[in-house]
């Protein structure tokens, strides 16, 4: 009887009004009746009979569009977005049929190594196949609203209608209210260390469809395939998987609710801070977090986790460095920015100055859009560094040695030289922003 009450209908009516707070859901999945059930809650708190929503062709088609828009590389089957598109209808129909019959099996995850900002080391990145990304997106379309309804408001990462900037605004507001003692917490290897059995237990508290649970288990047990070896992880969520951020939020949601109402915690995925008014409160908050992490199989990083007095010390959060009531881009954020610029401003290249400036402009604009609320001193230095690289290019083309570092180089190639070619000045953009806000 309970299963019948929480079973969901099979077709979605299009061109309908959806409440604003649910306007991000997949309309081919979430019908009016399903949304109504989501709002009032299903009996027992568990949802049954959801797998047919995953393998429905309209949902898979919508999932494919999202995957294609995100681009991404080919997985271990070497099928790229371009190749997948050539026979997309046949592929989606085949995938739908395999899911319907319970015969769908995820492929392995291709592991590649990419540069780590500010370090000579590299970090691993997982690349699922395009088909797996489509199925995971379709799966997320079905189950995300069920968990989103329950998530705590102090969580901002990888959630609809929330962003880094929302979390940063909250931190700013609390600092201004006198919450100067900051618990700067770091979970050691979080995505790789989540206990899978505990994670599945949390999922099963809301999802009772055994085929959905089995599909999630298959993704958790995907093989990781490196150039030299392959293995099946015993913990963590699959790297690079579409579904991983949602699963990671599900696992940390109990911590959010444990802290809610007692402490001011702001979390973005596995990155979180707790803002406190006294040192004693901060110590108590840290101890609460430490006990919880030990209980659920996670580990706080012993050196990166600390309590900071924001009036005296420095803490970092979401790419910003907070220092004595001001905020700046963190050293790592600057390094990542400069690494991107370096790749497009090598001294030996065949592009004209105008083309080089156009090629770096999107990087500059994107960086400014995120860090435009940083202290004004953050921008002239980066402008100067970029111009120095451009001057070095011009100097090289004239057959002169060395990089541009002295006043004579600045006089020979003044700022106006680059402005004439459309140079995007971070400092100028910040000044114009401040002027517009007056």
pLDDT (tens digit per residue) in 162-175: 999 999 999 999 99
Residue 158, sorted as left (phi over 0), alpha (psi -120 to 50) or beta, turns out to be left
Q: Could you read off the pLDDT of 428-437 as tens digits, one per residue? A: 999 999 988 8
Q: What is the pLDDT of residue 396?
A: 87
Quick check: 219 and 99 in contact, CB under 8 A? no
Mean pLDDT of the 253-259 span: 98
Q: What is the pLDDT of residue 291?
A: 98
Q: What is the pLDDT of residue 6?
A: 45
Q: Is the pLDDT of residue 79 over 50?
A: yes
Alpha-carbon separation of residue 69 from 57, 96, 133, 163 (angstroms): 18, 21, 12, 20
Q: Is the pLDDT of residue 120 over 70?
A: no
DSSP string across 218-270: HHHTPPEE-SS-EE--SSS--TT-TTHHHHHHHHHHHHHHHHTTTSEEEEETT
Could you tell me whether strands 306-309 and 314-317 are parallel, antiparallel, or unpaired per DSSP bridges?
A: unpaired
Q: What is the pLDDT of residue 124?
A: 77
Q: What is the pTM of this model?
A: 0.90
Q: Report the alpha-carbon distance of residue 275 to residue 273 in Å, rounded.
A: 6
Q: What is the pLDDT of residue 117?
A: 64
pLDDT confidence band for 111 (50 / 70 / 90): confident
Q: What is the pLDDT of residue 33?
A: 93
What's the mean per-residue pLDDT of the chain?
92
Mean pLDDT of the 283-305 span: 96
Q: What is the pLDDT of residue 344?
A: 95
Query: How many other CB atoms are found less than 10 A from the CB of residue 114?
Result: 9
Which CB contacts under 8 angstroms, 24+ apart, belong to 267-271?
267/154, 267/155, 267/156, 267/157, 267/167, 268/155, 268/156, 268/157, 268/164, 268/167, 268/317, 268/318, 269/157, 269/158, 269/245, 270/187, 270/190, 270/191, 271/157, 271/186, 271/317, 271/318
Of residues 116 and 138, the one with the higher pLDDT is 138
Q: Could you read off the pLDDT of 345-381 as tens digits, one per residue? A: 998 888 999 999 999 999 999 999 999 999 999 999 9
For 402, the token pair is 């060395």
For 184, the token pair is 């700067």
Q: Is the pLDDT of residue 7 over 60?
A: no
Q: Report the alpha-carbon distance of residue 248 to residue 260 in Å, rounded.
A: 18
C-alpha closest to that of 386 among 433, 420, 427, 330: 427
Q: What is the pLDDT of residue 84?
A: 97
Q: Is the pLDDT of residue 235 over 80?
A: yes
Mean pLDDT of the 278-284 span: 98
pLDDT confidence band for 408 (50 / 70 / 90): confident
Q: Could you read off the pLDDT of 54-76 as tens digits, one per residue? A: 999 999 999 999 999 999 999 99
Q: Could you read off the pLDDT of 185-232 as tens digits, one per residue? A: 999 999 999 999 999 999 999 999 999 999 999 999 998 888 777 878
Q: What is the pLDDT of residue 1?
A: 39
């Amino acid at each position: 009887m309970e299963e019948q009450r929480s079973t969901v209908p099979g077709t979605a009516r299009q061109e309908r009004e959806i409440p604003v707070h649910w306007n991000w859901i997949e309309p081919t999945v979430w019908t009016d009746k399903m949304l109504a059930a989501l709002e009032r809650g299903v009996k027992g708190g568990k949802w049954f009979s959801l797998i047919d929503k995953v393998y429905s062709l309209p949902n898979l088609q919508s999932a494919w569009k999202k995957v294609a828009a995100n681009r991404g590389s080919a997985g271990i089957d070497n099928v790229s977005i371009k190749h997948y598109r050539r026979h997309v209808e046949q592929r989606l129909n085949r995938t739908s049929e395999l899911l319907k019959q319970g015969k769908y099996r995820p492929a392995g995850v291709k592991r590649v190594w990419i540069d780590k900002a500010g370090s000579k080391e590299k970090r691993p990145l997982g690349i699922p196949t395009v088909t797996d990304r489509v199925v995971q997106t379709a799966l997320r379309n079905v189950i995300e609203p069920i968990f989103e309804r329950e998530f705590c408001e102090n969580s901002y990462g990888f959630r609809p209608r929330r962003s880094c900037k929302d979390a940063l605004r909250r931190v700013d507001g609390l600092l201004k209210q006198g919450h100067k003692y900051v618990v700067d917490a770091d979970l050691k290897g979080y995505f790789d260390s989540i206990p899978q059995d505990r994670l599945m237990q949390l999922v099963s508290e809301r999802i009772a469809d055994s085929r959905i649970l089995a599909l999630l288990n298959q993704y958790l047990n995907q093989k990781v395939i490196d150039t030299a070896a392959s293995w099946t992880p015993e913990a963590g969520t699959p790297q690079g998987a579409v579904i991983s951020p949602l699963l990671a939020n599900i696992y940390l949601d109990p911590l959010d609710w444990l802290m809610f109402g007692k402490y001011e915690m702001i979390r973005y995925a596995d990155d979180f801070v707790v803002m406190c008014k006294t040192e004693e409160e901060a110590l108590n908050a840290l101890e609460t977090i430490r006990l919880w992490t030990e209980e659920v199989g996670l580990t706080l990083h012993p050196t990166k986790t600390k309590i900071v007095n924001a009036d005296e010390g420095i803490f970092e959060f979401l790419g910003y460095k907070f220092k004595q009531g001001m905020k700046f881009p963190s050293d790592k954020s600057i390094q990542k920015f400069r690494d991107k610029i370096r790749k497009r401003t090598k001294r030996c290249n065949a592009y004209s100055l105008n083309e080089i400036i156009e090629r770096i402009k999107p990087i500059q604009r994107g960086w400014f859009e995120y860090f435009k609320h940083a202290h004004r001193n953050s921008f002239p230095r980066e402008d100067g560094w970029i111009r120095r690289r451009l001057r070095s290019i011009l100097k090289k083309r004239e057959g002169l040695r060395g990089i541009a570092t002295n006043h004579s180089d600045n006089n020979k190639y003044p700022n106006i030289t680059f402005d004439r070619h459309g140079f995007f000045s971070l400092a100028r953009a910040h000044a114009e922003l401040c002027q517009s806000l007056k």
